């Protein structure tokens, strides 16, 4: 970072976390110029990640060597008929007709 007064390089002297913001990650930084010793204080976002508590890894499921059993399939005709009739009722309502 450069000094606004003389343009020389500035060094970070202190960084204090800010607890007043609703979002974590902001800090008050104090910078001092290497040439003119001008001191600037800025509020900056630190981009530091918040530490996460150790999350236990889930246990691996037991290995089963038997072939998987296929799930029974629902009857296709009944599902298709029910969805088709629901679709027909919806279109009829949009067009202003009523179907029971």
Chain segment 2-28, per-residue pLDDT in tens: 888 888 999 999 999 888 877 778 899
Q: What is the pLDDT of residues 44-61, one digit of tens each?
A: 888 765 556 655 667 776
Instruction: Report how far residue 12's alpha carbon sits from residue 26's, in angstroms, rounded to the nearest whole number.
Output: 15
Is-above-0.85 flag for pTM?
no
How many structural domains comprise the chain?
A: 1
Residue 1 included in any domain: no
Domain that holds residue 16: 10-45
Name the β-bridge partners of 2: 9
**In terms of C-beta density within 10 A (0-12 exposed, 13-18 middle, 19 or more buried), how is residue 23 classed?**
exposed
């Amino acid at each position: 970072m450069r000094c606004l007064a003389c343009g020389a390089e500035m060094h970070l002297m202190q960084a204090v976390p800010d607890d007043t913001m609703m979002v974590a990650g902001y800090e008050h930084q104090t910078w001092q110029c290497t040439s003119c010793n001008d001191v600037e204080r800025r509020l900056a976002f630190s981009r530091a990640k918040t530490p996460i508590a150790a999350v236990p890894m889930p246990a691996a499921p037991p290995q089963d060597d038997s072939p998987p059993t296929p799930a029974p399939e629902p009857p296709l005709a009944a599902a298709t008929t029910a969805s088709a009739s629901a679709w027909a009722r919806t279109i009829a309502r949009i067009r202003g007709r009523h179907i029971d």
